[in-house]
Amino acid sequence: MGCRSYSDFMVKPNMASSPDVVMSFLLEMSKMIKPKADEEFKAIQDFKREKSGQRCVDLEPWDEAYYKAMMRSSASNLDSSVVASYFALPQCIEGLKMLVESLFGATFHSVPLATCESWHPDVLKIIIYLFHGDMGYMYLDLNSRAGKYPGCANFAIKGFWLAFVLVILQVVAIVCNFAGSHNSSTARLSHGEVGTLFHEFGHALHSLLSRTDYQHFSGTRVALDFAEMPSNLFEYYAWDYRVSRGFAKHYSTGEVIPKKLVESLQGGYVCRN
């Protein structure tokens, strides 16, 4: 197929274009982050030493996630149910609304589903507007249930295109498996799930705000490595206190999420001294 290797074949349609480009990017980045990574590994190793009571401990690959979680919770008494109490699903959707308005001047609201349009009673449908023009529709099917598609993903159902004078609006669906609840109005998300929701919403918005002559060029129908860019940028907002303080409020008291809690979520364990 005219390729030197499987990686050559896989990378060719992407913006990176060749495995050499990917390799040099990885090597360059690894050089940049190595001092920080060494510092973090040392902090984890010290923590393991303290916990095990042994003077000499090696850090095994499986230790990293285990001790990191322990360090986070011991640094700030982080309890995942306390964190989740600030991230009720309707509040998180409000947060996305806030972002969409301030970034793009766009807005959205929920619309009723027609008979037989929905595949489950938990599915929400929203319409996005920009400058009073309809941009498209988004289905949100976020909570886990038996027999559901596993994992989290954005599905571009219909791409934008101009059919002579007719404008065909896009339709996308975000399908996730959030574990907290089976009901969208009462669900509370873990912080990881908030990041996932923001990530998938970034993909969905990439589709909905796109305007192309042909549907197969619209939205996320681009080189795979570029398709992950808007979603990754959006995911960062879930970690930024300037954003989370605007929507993350305690489900019963309405208290805004404390800054300290967000700092702990950001991995404050490394700087705990």
Residues annotated as catalytic (active site), given as ranges: 200
Minimum CB separation from Zn ion for residue 130, in Å? 23
Minimum CB separation from Zn ion for residue 241, in Å? 24
Contact pattern for Zn ion over residues 150 through 189, marking x by CB under 5 A: ----------------------------------------
Which is closer to Zn ion, CB of 233 or CB of 270?
A: 233
Minimum CB separation from Zn ion for residue 152, in Å? 9
| 3-state SS, residue 141 | strand
Residues of this chain, 213-272, that bind Zn ion according to CB under 5 A: 228, 231
Minimum CB separation from Zn ion for residue 235, in Å? 9
Cα separation, 25 vs 115, in Å, equals: 51
Cα separation, 247 vs 93, in Å, equals: 9
Which is closer to Zn ion, CB of 44 or CB of 138?
A: 138
Which is closer to Zn ion, CB of 161 or CB of 200?
A: 200
196 binds Zn ion (CB under 5 A): no
Beta bridge partners, 140, equal 124, 174
Q: Which residue is nearest to Zn ion (CB)?
A: 231
Which is closer to Zn ion, CB of 141 or CB of 181?
A: 141
Q: Give the residue from 198, 2, 191, 186 showing the smallest Cα distance to 80.
A: 191
Backbone angles phi, psi at 90, to 5 degrees: -60, -35
Binding residue count for Zn ion, defined by CB under 5 A = 2
The DSSP string of 162-230 is EETTEEE-EEEEEEEEE-S-SSTTT-B--HHHHHHHHHHHHHHHHHHT---SSGGGSTT-S-HHHHHHH
Neighbours of 229 (CB within 10 A): 14
Beta bridge partners, 238, equal none
Residues that bind Zn ion (CB under 5 A): 228, 231
